[in-house]
Every structure is written in C-alpha cells, then in structure tokens.
A = this chain, B = another copy of it.
Amino acid sequence: MRIIGIDPGSLRTGYGIIESDASGQLRHVAHGCLNVSGQPFLERIGAIYRGLKQVIGDTQPNVAAIEQVFMARNADSALKLGQARGAALVALLEAGLPVHEYTALQIKKAAVGGGHAAKEQVQSMVRWLLKLNENPQADAADALACAICHAHHASTRQRWQLAVSR
C-alpha cells in the first residue's frame, strides 16, 4: 500500500508518501512542501492543485490520508484553509484515490504516541520512524504523520478482520 498524506494550507501544503507492507513495516518514499506564499490568493489555489497533481503523478500512491479539520482560529483563516483543502481534495479525488480523514489527535497519537505533541516532536518521531537523515520540514512532517496514521489504522483493521474471519 502506497499512502500519500496531505497537510493542506493556503501558504504551505505539506505532502508525504510512504509505503506500508503486509507486516506493517513502513518505508519512506518522498516528502515535500508546496510553498505558494508569494502568489496572489487565486493563483495559490491553482498552484496547490497542479502541484499535488504532479506529486501524485510522480509518486503513484494508491490511497490518501488528510487531516479532518473541524475548527480554525477564525472565519477568515477557515475560509482560506478551506479553499486550499478543497483544491487538494480535488487533486486526490480526480486521481481516483480513496481519501481517509483523521483528526489531529489520531495523527499525533499515531506518530508520537500522545495527542499533545509539539511540532518538533512530530518532526523527530517521523524522522526516526521513517529512518530519515534529518528532520523533515514541519508541514511535510505533519503530512508524513498523517500517512503513518493511515498505515497504522489500515493494518489494525486488517489484523482485526483476519482475527474475526478465523
């Protein structure tokens, strides 16, 4: 299973691609961050879509994971984040990927073991879990954590289904 995790934002959208084998072993494939902060807002939305389309084409994931956003600082930042997330979702859905949503709490628990981890803890744990040489950039680390979260949930689901079918 090749998973793309997305951490959408109207300035920076992180992405991370990992592979998870039948035994739940994780392997890092790629990660990065689309920085669209220098452009007018409308162009940013187009750039997020095109950028992710390119990443999906290059890395060929077969499933996607994205943080489920319930709230934002205020309505203005929610509108901006929402549009970025909408553009990201279109890129995932148009590529035919099943999209799974996880809460911030689920993602932090999967990556760090607790729900109240600082950004730096997420970066260090993702680096350790995926045997990277250095800490990934913060948004890319969140995206990788989201992909790791899906890998854990999927492998738990699989073990549970196996146990039930025996």
Contacts and interface: CB of A to CB of B under 8 A. Distances in A.
Interface of A: 42, 45-46, 49, 69-87, 89-91, 93-94, 99, 101
Nearest to A71: B75
Nearest to A42: B99
Given A71-B76, A75-B71, A76-B70, A46 B82 contact: no
SS class, residues of chain A in contact with chain B: helix
6 contacts: A45-B89, A69-B79, A75-B75, A79-B82, A83-B85, A90-B90
Given A83-B83, A83-B85, A85-B83, A46 B90 contact: yes
A22 to B, nearest CB: 27
Q: How many copies does the complex hold?
A: 2
Nearest to A43: B93
A99 B44 CA distance: 13
Contacts of A81: 79, 82
Contacts of A76: 70-71, 78
A86 B45 contact: yes
A91 B46 CA distance: 9
Contacts of A46: 89-90, 93-94
